[in-house]
Structure 1
Amino acid sequence: MRSSSPAFTFIDLFAGIGGFHAAMKALGGECVYAVEIDKQAARVYEANWGHPALGDITEDADDDLGVMNVPPHDVLCAGFPCQPFSKSGAQRGMDETRGTLFFNIASIIKAHRPSVVMLENVRNLIGPRHEHEYAVIIETLRELGYHVSDVPTVFSPHLLPPELGGAPQVRERVFITATYAPDQVAKDVEFGGPPPAATMADKFGDFDPKRDWHIEDLLDDTHNVPGCDLTEAEAHWISAWDEFVQIMRPLMGGRRLPGFPIWADAWLDFPEMAGINWGEASITIPSTVSMPSIDPALPAWKQSHLRKNYDLFERHFPDIIAWAHEWKVYSDIFPPSRRKLEWQAQDSKSLWDTVMHMRPSGLRAKKPNYLPALVAITQTSIIGSRERRISPRETARLQGLPDTFIFPDQPDSATYRQMGNGVNVGAVWHVFRSHVIRDRDLLQGTGRGCALLESVETSPDRPFELLMSHVPAERR
């Protein structure tokens, strides 16, 4: 990590365990204030970065009561929760954010006018249900004197090659980046501001995420990681559906499995299935089956899925019935959510060659080039090649944190939750650097902005080169 006097100072709001801190520190910044309300996350933050974080932003920053305990700074970072704003106060800007956590952020910006503001949120912030909230955020930033684009920066770390700090995780996030430049605001309002700092369409040489990423790049080479084992039932479900894959592939002329959700319970709609005693040691497979009718009142998507499942069963019912009996698919061994397979692994040969997720909608299998976004409230990815779940350490690597990063005195469940709530370090690094370089002319006209610009322009292409030297504060 860089030492001596910092090139710039930053604050870290809704800090989590410090994804923003990792990127800013590696760029030469020094944290002067951090706040995180979750005690376990704040404990990890302080153990690694040596800076206290436990606190409540609503107690430290309020436009009416004053901005207490928050010192001046050059960069404001915030991975903030987004509460709905009132639609009754359109065009009220900052006033409309009262009662939301964004209001507390805006209060800090108003008090200190940092050179750069970097906000991060889930992709849904720019979805149809939150168009108003996004518009109010942009309006408020401009009201406070910031040069900001109407178009959000949406980016995912899987788009970046490893040499630029990427990671094999599809994690689309919205970044709102702004530079203090009051003279630009009127022009931005008229023309929509500058282009976004980065986009999902950005290309990096001939790097192709679908071709060049593989999750094996960051996995430990072991099947035995304590706490990550599959249960006996989980292994049974996967093995059963894997045999289904092996049975169906030659029946389909060697082609890949169909992409529609396969619903084993839909096959019970065939009247001949009612006559089978699935608990018997042996069963008689009917010679023909009768196509069920589909309720036209059902939603179109469900009618389509049922029709495709019926067609699949009608063509291959002798093999499917034998498979279902052998693996006890229609028994208590298989709960309803495990009688569904979502095959998204294209031409993979086996389920054990894929990355899997146990979802309410079924067992989803994907090619092992990259993982879907880590999230705090869902099942952890199962790595077929390791026959286990991804480990807490491996999830930290997916978020761009070095192996020296520690999670002291907490259960793995807390680490998984923190990684699911965190921000990817490489994505922050790339978006922030792109923003600063885009606004070079605005920043070099100010003393602190000039130092920030110089630090960013002379930094390596990826944060890991500097994070490799990370030593947790607790162990220094």
Structure 2
Amino acid sequence: MRSSSPAFTFVDLFAGVGGFHAAMRSMGGECVYAVEIDKRAAKVYEANWGHPALGDITADADDDLGIMNVPPHDVLCAGFPCQPFSKSGAQRGMDETRGTLFFNIASIIKAHRPKIVLLENVRNLIGPRHQHEYDVIIETLRELGYHVSDSPAVFSPHLLPPALGGTPQVRERVFITATHAPTAVPEDVEHGGPAPVATMADRFGDFDPKRDWRVEEMLDDSHNVPGCTLSDSESHWIRAWDELVQIMRPLMNDRPLPGFPIWADSWLDFREMKAIDWDAKTIEVPRTVTVPNVDPALPAWKQSHLRKNYDFFARHFEVLIPWAHYWKVYTHAFPASRRKLEWQAQDAKTLWETVMHFRPSGIRAKRANYLPALVAINQTSIVGSRERRVSPRETARLQGLPDTFVFPDQPASATYRQMGNGVNVGAVWHVFKRHVRRDLELLRGDAVGRSICKAVEESPNRPNEVLARHRPARA
């Protein structure tokens, strides 16, 4: 995949296993520096890309120590962690980034002035608690001479059709894209800069993510993938809730379950439920039930939640009580975290048609169009049609990595964590191409910019064709 004369050079900061690398290299770029502090991730990076990555950016890039190991480059990529900036005092811009990891990125930019800066972060970076941090990042980039929008590009790979490199994973991420163009900065400051290169409202032809994605198309056919099968307890919980789905459908005229979380523990507030011996072999279902009062001191959301569950139980207790007894819902077989079902699967007929998440707050079921975002903690999605969790290989596929991508000598838990922390290759590809096309006139002002533009214009619509030729540097 490597060209003898690269179209551009790039650095890969907070590199993970190389999602940025996959996109930039497929576009014709050559990595001249990569850094990743996690030893396992750095090992995967080097095994696939043949480039060392293990290191500490705080040692390699600091205004006080100098830019020790970072060479000149044309494109800077960084999926950096979001660290809080101090709101104390009146300091702004470069001075205020000190003590955060963005400070180290800014130090590299200040030293080398790469033509394009491409930053990625979690959606929460632009939430109300982090607005200050986001503003400081934009101000710092402008101080360094970069043409950048006040508004972030927020994008998810599930919006892209397969022909453009999309994958069925809802992964909303913030992208900050900037071009070195000092003459454009004064107008940006006055008018807010250019439009963001991508938004969650973007659509591509007649492709409808809710209609056209089928997550099963990204999965292996096997039901028995080692390490991904369901435990007996997990199967019990799913079968129990699935039976409730089947019981309720005719009672609700074949309509879907309610949209609010069904919380079996709330039914214990009924005094008639307190009188039942749930360990007995047989129980007697009461003729009527008495609806409890809702404590007005509770938060409004919880009051609403309880009222809906009380009403649901009062209307259907004659079937809910026998169901709860048969499946031992109120025994050790059913921990409290599994007594709540959040049905977001619309008209799915059964839980085995959905994608499920076992969350600390309960079981969430969604339609099997696409998966929720992969996360670095143990909440791996369960695909009902496979009766198992998504495999490590499948998570890599959902992040846009080819099946030839290797994870040598590491447990599945490490791969899940790396994919949960990673950047989606197709999303990076799309955002980078859109950025270059937006800033085309600015980029064409010098040889480096023209070379980047040419690489983008000559690249395929998606990275998959290039990544299909990927071979690991060493297994």
Question: How does the TM-score come out when normalised to structure 2?
Answer: 0.99
- 1:58-457 matches, cutoff 5 A: 58-90=58-90, 92-457=92-457
Letter in 1 for 2:11: I
Deviations 1:138-169 (CA, angstroms, capped at 9, x unpaired): 00000000000000000000000000000000
2:218, 2:393 → 1: CA distance? 10
Q: Which letter does structure 2 place at the counterpart of 1:99?
A: G
Structure 1 unaligned segments of length 5 or more: list them.
none
The Cα offsets for residues 355-409 of structure 1, whole Å up to 9 and x where unpaired, read as 0000111110000000010010141000100000000000000000000000000
Cα distance between partner residues in 2 of 1:376 and 1:199: 25
Q: For residues 3 and 62 of structure 2, what CA distance do their matches in structure 1 show?
A: 34
- Map of 2:32 onto structure 1: 32
1:438 to 1:91, Cα distance in 2 relative to 1, 3 A: farther
Say if 1:259 and 1:343, in contact at 8 Å, map to a contact too. yes
In the aligned structure 2, how far is the partner of 1:273 from the partner of 1:105?
Answer: 59
Cα deviation for residue 63 of structure 1 reads 1.1
CA distance in 2, matches of 1:132, 1:467: 38
Distance 1:419 1:347 in 2: 30
User: Following TM superposition, by how much is the alpha carbon of 1:21 offset from its aligned partner in structure 2, in angstroms?
Assistant: 0.1
| Structure 2 SS opposite 1:454 | helix
Residue of structure 2 equivalent to 1:55: 55
Letter in 2 for 1:157: P
The Cα shift of 1:90 comes to: 4.1
Please give the secondary structure, in 2, of the residue aligned with 1:109. helix
How much does 1:92 deviate?
A: 2.5
1:291–1:417 CA distance, 2 compared to 1 (3 A): same
CA contact (8 A) 1:17 1:44 kept: yes
Q: TM-score, normalised by structure 1?
A: 0.99
**Mapped partners of 2:451, 2:247: distance in 1:** 64
Q: Which moved more, 1:277-286 or 1:417-426?
A: 277-286
Q: Which amino acid aligns with 2:141?
A: L
Number of residue pairs the alignment of both structures matches: 475
Q: State the Cα distance separating 1:30 from its structure 2 match.
A: 0.2
- Matches of 2:244 and 2:53, distance apart in 1: 51
Contact 2:2–2:30 (8 Å) recurs in 1: no
Deviations 1:229-251 (A, max 9, x none): 10100000000000000001111
How many Å separate the matches in 1 of 2:321 and 2:177? 57
Counterpart Cα distance in 2 of 1:293 and 1:88: 46
2:47 and 2:474 in contact (8 A); partners too: yes
CA distance in 1, matches of 2:31, 2:104: 19
Q: Distance in 2 between matches of 1:118 and 1:208?
A: 28
Moved runs in structure 1, 4+ residues, more than 6 A? Answer: none
Describe the superposition over 1:24-67 as per-residue Cα deviations: whole angstroms up to 9, x where unpaired.
Answer: 00000000000000000000000000000000000000112110
Partner AA of 1:87 in structure 2? K
SS at match of 1:448: helix
SS at match of 1:170: coil
SS of alignment partner, residue 291 of structure 2: coil
User: In structure 1, what is the Cα distance between the partners aligned to 2:154 and 2:367?
Assistant: 24
Contact 1:2 1:466 survives alignment (8 Å):
no
Note the C-alpha offset of 1:91.
Answer: 5.5
8 A contact 1:15–1:78 mirrored in 2? yes
Letter of the 1:34 counterpart: A
2:264 and 2:340 in contact (8 A); partners too:
yes
Deviation at 1:3, TM superposition (A): 2.4
Contact 2:197–2:435 (8 Å) recurs in 1: yes
Deviation, 1:126, is: 0.3
Residue 13 of structure 2 contacts residue 34 of structure 2 at CA under 8 Å; is this kept in 1?
yes
Q: Which deviates the most, 295-304 or 417-426?
A: 295-304
Q: Counterpart of 2:363 in structure 1: which amino acid?
A: L
Q: 1:398 to 1:90 in 2, by over 3 A?
A: farther
Corresponding residue SS for 1:87: coil
Shift of 1:303: 0.8
Equivalent residues of 2:228, 2:388 under 8 A apart: yes
Please give the secondary structure, in 1, of the residue aligned with 2:88: helix
**1:252-274 Cα shifts (integer Å, max 9, x gaps):** 11111000010101111111111
The separation in 1 between residues aligned to 2:104 and 2:316, in whole angstroms, is 61
Partner SS state of residue 12, structure 1: strand
CA-CA distance at 1:280 after TM superposition: 1.1
Equivalent residues of 1:80, 1:121 under 8 A apart: yes
**1:88 shift after superposition:** 2.5
SS of residue paired to 1:254:
coil
- Following superposition, the deviation at residue 84 of structure 1 comes to 1.0
Distance in 2 (CA, whole Å) between partners of 1:318 and 1:194 is 61
Kindly report the root-mean-square deviation, in angstroms, between the aligned alpha carbons of the 2 structures: 0.8
SS of the residue corresponding to residue 371 of structure 1 reads coil
The question of whether the paired residues in 2 share the 8 Å contact of 1:26 and 1:466 is answered with yes
Distance 1:220 1:378 in 2: 21
- CA deviations 1:98-124 (Å, max 9, x no partner) are 111101000000000000000000000
Distance in 2, Cα, partners of 1:351 & 1:89: 54
